[in-house]
Amino acid sequence: MSEELDLRGLKCPLPAMLARKYLATLPAGESIWVLASDPLAVVDIPHMCSQEGHAMIESKTAPDHHRFLIRRGPT
């Protein structure tokens, strides 16, 4: 089971910045669910993953937030 990083209620760019910071603490290959309620997170978080070399495994939209399953990249 993957951990959850709950960033609901924060406005972009904070969810992407905090997700980046948290992912840096994980070992390569580890996965985490990131929860965010800001509508711009659907753009910012995948973009952050692409820039940092992380894999976006899954993206789900709930009525009040988005869920992203991210696997930490090798860097």
Residue 61, token pair as written in the block: 């939209």
Q: Is position 49 annotated as part of the catalytic site?
A: no
Please give the backbone phi and psi of residue 56, each rounded to the nearest 5 degrees, phi first.
-85, 105
The 8-class DSSP code of residue 38 comes to: S
Determine which one of 1, 2, 9, 12 is catalytic. 12
Burial class (CB in 10 A: 0-12, 13-18, 19+), 26: middle
Instruction: Please identify every residue annotated as catalytic.
Output: 12
